[in-house]
C-alpha cells in the first residue's frame, strides 16, 4: 500500500510503509549523531509512523493535550503580502489584523513587530511602534508579543559603523574580523534593550527576541545579554526564538556563562536561555528539502524531545516554512504542518507551538 507523503520541498510523493519506517529511523539517527543525543525509542518511532500514515487531511491532539500558540508573525500573515512576508495581503491595519487573529481565528497571543523585523531599525520608528502597540493593547485581551531580531548584519557598513566581518576574514584579516565581531555584540544588545524598554512603557506583555543566531554566535550572545539586562531592569517576559538548529560560529570563541556558543544544538541552547532569564524558548530544527517529511519530522522530534527533556522553561518550537520538520514552502501543506505539530506535542512534549 502506498501512502501520500511530502518531500522537504513540499512535493507530494507516495511512500510505502517500509520506506517510511526506514526514513523515520534515518531521521532520528541523523539528529542523534549530530546532536550527540539519544535517538527516539522504538515505541516513539512506531507512534510517529502511526501519525504519519494517517490519511486524514488534518491531524490533531486530544482536548487535554492542546497547547497554546505564541507567534512571531501573527498579524503579518493577514496584511503582509505573499512573497515578501508570507501573508495573504489583506488591506487592513495591524490593529484590525490582530483583532481578527484573536477574535476570529482564536490565537492565544497577538503580535506586533514591523515587517523588517530588526531591533536596530526599529529605533528610528519607535514612536510609531508605541502608538500602534498601544492601539493593539487597547483592543485585544490576549498577551501581546513584540518581535524583532538582533540582526548583527545591520551593523556593517553602509548601514552601520563596522566593516563586514566576513569580508575582513576573506581578506585574511581573521583576528581583526573577530575583534570587530566582538564589538558588534554590545551594540546589538544595547539596541534590543532600548527598544524593549520603550515598548514596556506602553505596556507590551512580552518581547520575542527572534531569529536569534541568524548572524552567528555573536547574534545569540547579544540576545542572551539583552535578556539578562531586561530581566533585571524591567522584569519583562521574554520569548527567544532561534534562527537555525545550531549556532553558527562566525567567531567561534564567544562564550556565555563559560560555555562556547558556536556549534550549540537546541538542548544546549535552552540552558543558555534559561540562565539569561528567558521565559519561553523556541528551538529550531532545519528541514532538509531532499528528504521526506517522515525523515524531517523524525529528526525534528528527536532534537526537540531532548531539548524538552533538559528544559526547565516552556518550549514553543518554531513550526513553519522550512523548520520543525515542515517543508520549505511558502505555505507549508496543512497535512505536514498538523502531523508535525501533533508529533511535537505527543512525542516531544512541547508546551506550545
Partner 1 sequence: MSNENLLEIIRESIVKVDRETAVQTVESALAQGLQAIEVIEKGLSPGMQKVGDLFERGELFLPQVMMAAGLMTQIVQSLQDKMSPEQTTKKNGVVIIGTVEGDVHDIGKNIVKILLSVNGFEVHDLGRDALLSRFVEKAKEFNANIVASSALMTGTMQAQGDLETLLKEAGIRDRVKTMVGGAPCTQYWADKIGANAYAENASEAVTKARELMAAQ
Burial of 84 (0-12, 13-18, 19+ CB in 10 A): exposed
Binding mask 70-109 toward partner 1 (x if CB under 8 A, else -) reads -------------xxxx-----------------------
Closest listed residue to residue 8, CA positions, set 220, 291, 273: 291
Let me know: does 337 contact 301? Beta carbons within 8 Å. Answer: no
Number of residues that bind partner 1 (CB under 8 A): 38
> Which of 328, 333, 349, 351: binder of partner 1 (CB under 8 A)?
328
Burial of 315 (0-12, 13-18, 19+ CB in 10 A): buried
Say how far apart CA 173 and CA 163 lie, in whole Å.
11
Binding mask 183-222 toward partner 1 (x if CB under 8 A, else -) reads ---------------------------------xx-----
Say how far apart CA 186 and CA 223 lie, in whole Å.
10
Binding mask 110-149 toward partner 1 (x if CB under 8 A, else -) reads ----------------------------------------
Write down the least CB distance from residue 206 to partner 1, Å.
26
Write down the least CB distance from residue 327 to partner 1, Å.
8
Q: Estimate to the nearest angstrom the gap between the alpha carbon of 191 and the chain centroid.
A: 20
Which residue's CB is nearer to partner 1, number 250 or number 336? 250
> Which of 55, 63, 172, 258: binder of partner 1 (CB under 8 A)?
172
Which residue's CB is nearer to partner 1, number 198 or number 296? 296
N-term to C-term CA, the chain: 33
Q: Cell numbers of 126, please?
A: 519607535
> Which of 40, 44, 169, 307: binder of partner 1 (CB under 8 A)?
169
Say how far apart CA 128 and CA 145 lie, in whole Å.
16
The secondary structure of the chain in percent helix, strand, coil, rounded to multiples of 5, reads 50, 15, 35
Residues between 241 and 300 with contacts to partner 1, criterion CB under 8 A: 246-252, 262-265, 288-290
Write down the least CB distance from residue 203 to partner 1, Å.
32
Burial of 53 (0-12, 13-18, 19+ CB in 10 A): middle
34 touches partner 1 by CB under 8 A: yes
Residues between 7 and 26 with contacts to partner 1, criterion CB under 8 A: 8-11
Contacts to partner 1 by CB under 8 A: 8-11, 34, 83-86, 153, 166, 169-170, 172, 174, 177-178, 216-217, 246-252, 262-265, 288-290, 321-322, 328-330
Amino acid at each position: 500500500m502506498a501512502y501520500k507523503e511530502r518531500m522537504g520541498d513540499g512535493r507530494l510523493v507516495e511512500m510505502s510503509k517500509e520506506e517510511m519506517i526506514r526514513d523515520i529511523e534515518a531521521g532520528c539517527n541523523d539528529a542523534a549523531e549530530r546532536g550527540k543525543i539519544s535517538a527516539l525509542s522504538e515505541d516513539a518511532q512506531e507512534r510517529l509512523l502511526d501519525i504519519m500514515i494517517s490519511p486524514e487531511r488534518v491531524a490533531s491532539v486530544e482536548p487535554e493535550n492542546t497547547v497554546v500558540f505564541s507567534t512571531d508573525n501573527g498579524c503579518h500573515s493577514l496584511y503582509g503580502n505573499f512573497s515578501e512576508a508570507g501573508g495573504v495581503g489583506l488591506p487592513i491595519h495591524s490593529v484590525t489584523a490582530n483583532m481578527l487573529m484573536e477574535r476570529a481565528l482564536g490565537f492565544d497571543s497577538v503580535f506586533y513587530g514591523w515587517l523588517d523585523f530588526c531591533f536596530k531599525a526599529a529605533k528610528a520608528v519607535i514612536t510609531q511602534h508605541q502608538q500602534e502597540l498601544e492601539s493593539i493593547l487597547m483592543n485585544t485581551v490576549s498577551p501581546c508579543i513584540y518581535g524583532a531580531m538582533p540582526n548583527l548584519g545591520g551593523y556593517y557598513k553602509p548601514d552601520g559603523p563596522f566593516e563586514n566581518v566576513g569580508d575582513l576574514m576573506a581578506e585574511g584579516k581573521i583576528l581583526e574580523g573577530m575583534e570587530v565581531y566582538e564589538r558588534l555584540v554590545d551594540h546589538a544588545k544595547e539596541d534590543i534593550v532600548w527598544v524593549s524598554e520603550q515598548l514596556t512603557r506602553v505596556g507590551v506583555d512580552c518581547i520575542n527576541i527572534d531569529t536569534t543566531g541568524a548572524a552567528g554566535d555573536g547574534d545569540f550572545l547579544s540576545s542572551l545579554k539583552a535578556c539578562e539586562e531586561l530581566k533585571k531592569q524591567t522584569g519583562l517576559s521574554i520569548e527567544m526564538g532561534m534562527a537555525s538548529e545550531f549556532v553558527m560560529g562566525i567567531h567561534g570563541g564567544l562564550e556565555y556563562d563559560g560555555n562556547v556558543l558556536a556549534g550549540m544544538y537546541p538542548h544546549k541552547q535552552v540552558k543558555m536561555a534559561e540562565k539569561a532569564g528567558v521565559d519561553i524558548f523556541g528551538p529550531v530544527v532545519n528541514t532538509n528539502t531532499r528528504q521526506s517529511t517522515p525523515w524531517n519530522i523524525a529528526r525534528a522530534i528527536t532534537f526537540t524531545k531532548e531539548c524538552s527533556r533538559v528544559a526547565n522553561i516552556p518550549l514553543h518550537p518554531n513550526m513553519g516554512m522550512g523548520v520543525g520538520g515542515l517543508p520549505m514552502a511558502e505555505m507549508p501543506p496543512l497535512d505536514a504542518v498538523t502531523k508535525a505539530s501533533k508529533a511535537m506535542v505527543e512525542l516531544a512534549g512541547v508546551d506550545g507551538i
